[in-house]
Structure 1
Amino acid sequence: MTALRERFATQATLIDSATHCALDQTIRSLPTGVVDADFADSVRAAISGGKKFRGLLAFLGASLAEDEDDDARLVEVNNLAAALELYQASALVHDDIIDHAFTRRGAATTHQRLAGTHRNNGWVGSAEEFGQSGAILVGDFLFSAAERALHAQCRSLRPTHAQRLMDRFTTMHAEVAAGQFLDLRSEQLPLNPEDSFAISAQEARRVIVHKSARYSIVHPAALGALAAGASDSAVSLMDSILTPWGIAFQLRDDVLGVFGDPSVTGKPSGDDLREGKRTVLLALTWAKAPVRARGVLVNVLGNAQANATDISLAQEVVATYGQADHEREIAALVDEGDRLLDAADLCESITEDLHDLAQILTDRVK
């Protein structure tokens, strides 16, 4: 295990505790009886599990800032890490509604959980509509808790640092919403198997950058650095190095969305195909696949009723026509970040941590 992995393993427990504490503080801030027990159980379930990766990147970003000592930085960004994890939980709850997902991390998604509560209690009306409406509110509540944790972080900073942190956090939130819409829109475009350009790799890359790469990797690390007082030039350098790795991270995630083991990923095999995700992997496959093979893809894309045989045939098409080019693209992105890092002439310990990070981001099975 690398030094960075060891630190991540230790910090993940700290972040998990800080996240639950921040959520509980938000619940307790309201008058007694306002937060329904089923609602409280749902918001707590939404933050359970996960790798706490965005919080970990905030710690890493803080450790790269040059004007603070290590111990001060590690303590200083606890609230920021909690805010990022609460925001992530909020985004996932809403994302699962959009994607009509049934499971997340091996358990029922929030809207499915609440629909089950409706059915088990024999309430009137539609269980599905109640589940979706309730989940929207759960997501909103989690975002409120994220705001509260971010405010606590800002109170501990100098005003100029707090302002830069808030500016970057709100930019991240806006960018995720806009990127999510781009993704949603792309899934609605018609697919003609005879049209080689029906799925655009360029558009898929644009969605990746704004929906996930910057949000998952670049922004959390930059926010940690800003909280620790990093200069604009240091943050800009971090952005340039981490952006290609953030894209590679999402490309690896797209592979897992098609071929991942459900017992490891916590989601059904081929789930991205059923959801109709227009990923770079799918675009590369579409460009090379013959018309008949594209027809196999059309049969499953966006089809929630696609059976295991249909999914298996579509997976075979992706493996045959797109996976090799996709792996080469991931490798090229990792190399791009490596070149930028090596040219930056940073100290040896920081360079080692960032090289380890690139491996963690792209060499994973969940």
Structure 2
Amino acid sequence: MTAGTQDLDAADQLSAVDLDDLAAVDLERLRAAVAAALEGFLATQRRTLTGMDAALTAITEEMSALARGGKRLRPAFAYWGWRGATADAGGPPEDEAAVLRAVAALEFVHVSALVHDDVMDGASTRRGRPATHLGFASRHDEHALDGDPAAFGVGAAILVGDLALVWSDELLRCSGLTPAALTRARGVWDTMRTEVTAGQYLDLLRAAGGLPGPDGALTVARYKSAGYTVQRPLQLGAAIAGAGPRLFEAYTAIGLPLGEAFQLRDDVLGVFGDPEVTGKSADDDLREGKQTLLIALAELEADEPGRELLHEALGNPDADDEQFDALRHLIDSTGARARVEERIAERTEQARAAIAAAPVTEEARAALDALAVAATTRTA
């Protein structure tokens, strides 16, 4: 390597570090703005609900607890989708504070999906605390209410999830975006929420034996999580900005592979993650019997004893630690985990190449690339 090449490499490395630092600092600002938007909105809703009846305080407390957690990746992708569209947009720009409130509404869509998903999966924890249906079941016991605590908890959780979806609409509508921007945003918003709900059904169907194999697992991942995590938030930002079809296509080229890689990382963490970091037991996904790509690939490569183990322990709430450890060993020994890691790396690189080629501002390009790395190398 020549001295000139060494200097160039050093300059490139320094530039990358500076851009990453800039993106990281701005991400903290964005997270703070999203948190403030959610807290302000929830304060208003708290007054409304407690004005109806003091018993509704339980609903606002639960929603506040759920909204406080999370990485804010969806609002971050939407915000940078908007910022990246400035070179491709027509008309005057939207007020940034209004955009931040609008993208914060994505967090309520996410809360809704999490709460409903936990009910369907029978999950025990979420973000380091009892899942919503279990929390309300405990509340039923604490107040010595009549009837079945578990049924009460499930019913309350369904309503909390429904209310989160209602509030996502309200926060978007009241964000302060111009009427034209709201109209443009609605198309993406409606598509995203339809896909999430349809994806939840596909997940339910797969758990019942439909959509078998690796392809079925990837179909569920795309519609249940991947689309509304990256692709649709990016396109929401583009719609708010008034960008043209070229940018929407570029954001699809980024969003689909990156959203898949994000979900696959989530699947790996669900089985091999550190509970102290993830906020949930590493046994939960196995106990719930989640039919992820990890499981589909392990099943394809397992021998007869391995398939028997999958049949006996996966989705069995009475399975013990030894069986779950054996399942983790099976996933590793069949090469399923390694193949999923390879796919995560491939899809992440595909998304990063699409980011490099996208018609966005250089500032947005650096931020989106940093987000892509953060979304797929995270430990929680």
TM-score normalized by structure 2? 0.88
Structure-2 separation of matches of 1:44 and 1:171: 26
Please state whether the residue corresponding to 1:47 is helix, strand or coil. Answer: helix
Structure-2 change in CA distance of 1:68 and 1:13 (3 Å): farther
Determine the structure 2 residue equivalent to 1:291.
304
Q: 2:84–2:365: 8 Å Cα contact kept in structure 1? A: no
Determine the structure 2 residue equivalent to 1:167.
187
Determine the structure 2 residue equivalent to 1:245.
258
Counterpart pick for 1:303 among 305, 313, 316 = 316
| Alignment deviations for residues 24-59 of structure 1 (CA, whole Å, 9 cap, x no partner) | 323434582336222232222221221122122221
Q: 1:18–1:79: 8 Å Cα contact kept in structure 2? A: yes
Counterpart pick for 1:312 among 321, 325, 328 = 325
Q: 2:272–2:328: 8 Å Cα contact kept in structure 1? A: yes
1:126 matches 2:126: no
Determine the structure 2 residue equivalent to 1:84.
106
Determine the structure 2 residue equivalent to 1:361.
375
Letter in 1 for 2:154: Q
Structure-2 change in CA distance of 1:210 and 1:49 (3 Å): same
Q: 1:57–1:220: 8 Å Cα contact kept in structure 2? A: yes
Determine the structure 1 residue equivalent to 2:244.
231
Q: 1:26–1:145: 8 Å Cα contact kept in structure 2? A: no
More helix per residue: 2
Structure-2 change in CA distance of 1:217 and 1:125 (3 Å): same
Determine the structure 2 residue equivalent to 1:326.
340
Determine the structure 1 residue equivalent to 2:67.
47
Q: What is the percent sequence identity of the aligned residues?
A: 34
Segment drifting more, 350-359 vs 27-36: 27-36
Q: 1:2–1:356: 8 Å Cα contact kept in structure 2? A: no
Structure-2 change in CA distance of 1:343 and 1:32 (3 Å): closer
TM-aligned CA deviation for residue 68 of structure 1? 8.2
Show the 5 A alignment for 1:93-242.
93-153=115-175, 156-159=177-180, 161-189=181-209, 199-242=212-255
Unaligned runs of 5+ in 2: 1-19
Structure-2 change in CA distance of 1:31 and 1:111 (3 Å): closer
Letter in 2 for 1:183: D
Structure-2 separation of matches of 1:164 and 1:60: 17
TM-aligned CA deviation for residue 364 of structure 1? 0.8
Structure-2 separation of matches of 1:349 and 1:245: 19
Structure-2 change in CA distance of 1:83 and 1:89 (3 Å): same
TM-aligned CA deviation for residue 6 of structure 1? 2.0
Show the 5 A alignment for 1:260-271.
260-271=273-284
TM-aligned CA deviation for residue 98 of structure 1? 0.8
1:28 matches 2:47: yes
Letter in 1 for 2:258: W
Structure-2 change in CA distance of 1:228 and 1:103 (3 Å): same
Q: 1:97–1:132: 8 Å Cα contact kept in structure 2? A: yes
| Alignment deviations for residues 258-291 of structure 1 (CA, whole Å, 9 cap, x no partner) | 1111111111113211111111121122212212
TM-aligned CA deviation for residue 158 of structure 1? 4.0
Segment drifting more, 33-42 vs 121-130: 33-42
Aligned residues: 357
Q: 1:80–1:224: 8 Å Cα contact kept in structure 2? A: no
Determine the structure 2 residue equivalent to 1:56.
76
Determine the structure 2 residue equivalent to 1:7.
26
Structure-2 separation of matches of 1:37 and 1:285: 45
Unaligned runs of 5+ in 1: 191-197
Structure-2 separation of matches of 1:293 and 1:315: 11
Structure-1 separation of matches of 2:234 and 2:328: 34
Letter in 1 for 2:173: H
Segment drifting more, 349-358 vs 104-113: 349-358
Q: Which has the higher contact order (CA 8 A, sep 6+)?
A: 2
Structure-2 separation of matches of 1:69 and 1:106: 45
Determine the structure 2 residue equivalent to 1:349.
363
Determine the structure 2 residue equivalent to 1:195.
none
TM-aligned CA deviation for residue 240 of structure 1? 1.3
Segment drifting more, 63-72 vs 125-134: 63-72
Q: 2:93–2:241: 8 Å Cα contact kept in structure 1? A: no
TM-aligned CA deviation for residue 169 of structure 1? 0.7
Q: 1:58–1:223: 8 Å Cα contact kept in structure 2? A: yes
TM-aligned CA deviation for residue 199 of structure 1? 4.5
Structure-2 separation of matches of 1:120 and 1:158: 47
4+ runs deviating over 4 angstroms: 68-73
